[in-house]
Chains A and B, each alone.
Chain A
Amino acid sequence: MIESLADYLIGPFQYRFMVRALIVSVLVGVMCPILGAYVITRGLSFMGDALAHSVLPGMVVAFLLGISPFFAAVPAGIAVALLMGSVSRRTGIREDTSIGVIFAGMFALGLVMLAKANNINVNIEDLLLGQVLGVSQTDVFVSLGLTALVLAVLYAVHRQLVYTTFDPVGAKVVGIRAGLVEYVLLAILALVIVISIQAAGIVLVMAMLVTPAAAGYLLARRFVGVMVIGALIGALSAVTGLYLSFHADLPSGPAMALVATAIFALTVLVKKSWLVKRAGNDGDNPLTAPGQSPSG
């Protein structure tokens, strides 16, 4: 029994591709929720989903040129992220509308390019749903480098990001360049999404970005706690998804997304029962939404 469990857990790593997949899964599982903490508290979930879909044309160009998707998708992702913000600012239409327009247009362009490209050697399903088992050594090194870059930039702008997220007007008053901070965040978001597409796929990268961070938000009291708990849940989801992908021959994106969703559902149940128990002890109303506290 114990032997078979060890075989199940350790056995796969006799293959080098599984070691590469494990490294990328852990990176994605940790990175996404750290950034996801900002995404959920700033209300950027739709932006994240849109960005993931919008990098498709960049990835197709990379495949056509025979280069790593990073080299085309990263600049494309950053360009789209900046475009989404500036279209809304310049035209005066709501930001979610400009995101919707660019999201659909870019994804459609990517699909048309895929349909018309004859000499492209890529499985569309892997691109859309993720296939972490297929990452190359170059992908691993580039992912490690980009992860280090993302963490360094996030560390540097953390205080500015926290201030602009909590109190955007007050942040401007003390001289924080809120527009620049927003652009930096969007550029990082584009980077993380491109790293994560390898594991989670275009369609489900959202699950890694938002779901573990949302579970962390329910469990943690402070913002840094949301990041830490989210990263633990993200890593657990990604690695469990990797095993499911290997043993059950599933695309890695749906496997990771399902594990993350199950953990989130469990978190909601645990939190609700804890609140009900606490209310029973001190007579509070457990279902008071955040921000609805008494005045005076």
Chain B
Amino acid sequence: MTMTDKPSITVEDVAVERNGYRALFDITFAVGPGTLVGVVGPNGAGKSTLFDALVGILPITQGTVNLHGAESRNGALAYVPQRDSINWRFPATVFDVVMMGCCCRTSWFRGPGKRDRALARCCLERVGLWERRASLMNELSGGQRQRVFIARALAQEAGIILLDEAFSGVDVGAQEGIIEVLQSMRAEGRVVLLATHDLTNLAQRFDQVLCINRHVCACGPPDQAFTPQVLEELYGSHRIEFAPTHLHPNHPNPAGGDND
């Protein structure tokens, strides 16, 4: 992994507009190196908007975003997009997609080299999909597709990885496979942010949760962040559906949450 210093994210008093609408405000949080963060909130809370602002697709109208360990916003920051934003009719193989991770290190007339191919192989082996390298992306299951995109992020040698709705259309067993890979990335010191609707086993999966509903409602360890007030802010009258069964480890009812 090529990182200038230890990856971390510091966001201070950020506001973001989307289509003239103030989608996010009062966004302040900090994430240190080697942290796996779950970004949770209801539909329309601004999880994707926050990611778009962090990666620079959407300009911030106020505040500051500091991404350390990412030499610039390009290259060392990797993004695993929502599945709706992918053109699944494009005939790309698993290996082609992972090689895209090397795209930012190539120039116009010089393509990827031996080192890039060896790295792509290494990344695919790490997510357990080297055997499927010749498969087309639309031949894979939802969980396998996500693992390919994670391998692409690894091939990009990014210190910070953002995953938008990575569990959408992925069954619980495959979710665990994804989490295992993300935990191994955390162990290398990378920062991983995963936006999800799924509140299943949050405390087991993440070191930190960032609860947002257009503003930051809470940010901290899962067992401390979910106070009744925070749940009220996030889900209003629906909070009873989530608390406390899905939020804490070792609870006898580990039912899968709603992905949509």
Contact = CB atoms under 8 A, between A and B. Distances in A.
Interface of A: 41-42, 155-157, 159-160, 162-163, 165-170, 172-176, 217, 220-223, 225-226, 290-296
A223 B92 contact: yes
Nearest to B52: A169
Given A166-B92, A166-B100, A174 B75 contact: yes
Contacts, number: 109
Given A174-B75, A223-B90, A167 B109 contact: no
27 contacts: A41-B89, A42-B87, A157-B108, A163-B103, A165-B90, A166-B87, A166-B97, A167-B81, A169-B85, A170-B80, A170-B85, A172-B57, A173-B74, A174-B75, A174-B78, A174-B79, A175-B74, A175-B75, A175-B104, A222-B96, A223-B96, A226-B91, A291-B89, A293-B138, A295-B169, A295-B171, A296-B173
Contacts of A293: 138-141
Interface of B: 55-57, 72-75, 77-81, 85-93, 96-97, 100, 103-104, 106, 108-109, 111, 136, 138-143, 152, 156, 169-171, 173-174
Contacts of B171: 295-296
Contacts of A166: 86-87, 90, 92, 97, 100
Contacts of B142: 294-296
Given A220-B91, A290-B138, A295-B171, A175 B72 contact: yes
B194 to A, nearest CB: 16
A43 B90 CA distance: 11
B93 to A, nearest CB: 6
B86 A167 contact: yes
Contacts of B169: 295
Contact of B141 (A168, A169, A296): A296
Contacts of A221: 91, 93, 136
Given A159-B111, A170-B81, 18 more contacts: A155-B109, A156-B108, A156-B109, A159-B100, A165-B90, A166-B97, A167-B81, A167-B86, A169-B79, A170-B79, A174-B78, A217-B91, A221-B91, A222-B91, A223-B96, A294-B142, A295-B143, A295-B171
Contacts of A175: 72-75, 104
Nearest to B111: A159
Contact of A295 (B93, B108, B170): B170
Nearest to A290: B138
A167 B100 contact: yes
A contacts with B: majority SS: helix
B57 A169 contact: yes
A173 B92 contact: no
- For the complex of A and B, the 10 pairs showing the least CB-CB separation, nearest first, are A175-B74, A291-B88, A296-B171, A295-B142, A173-B79, A156-B108, A166-B90, A295-B169, A173-B55, A174-B104
A292 B96 CA distance: 20
A293 B80 CA distance: 19
Nearest to B259: A295
Contacts of A159: 100, 103, 106, 111
Contacts of A156: 108-109
Nearest to A220: B91
A248 B29 CA distance: 75
Given A157-B108, A167-B81, A173 B174 contact: no
Contacts of B73: 173, 175
Contacts of A223: 90-92, 96
A222 B93 contact: yes
B7 to A, nearest CB: 16
Nearest to A160: B103
A222 B79 CA distance: 24
A174 B141 CA distance: 25
A291 B91 CA distance: 10
B2 to A, nearest CB: 15
Nearest to B74: A175
Contacts of A225: 91
A174 B103 CA distance: 8
A166 B75 CA distance: 18
Given A155-B109, A170-B81, A176 B90 contact: no
Given A294-B141, A296-B142, A296-B170, A174 B156 contact: yes
B92 A295 contact: no
Contacts of A292: 138
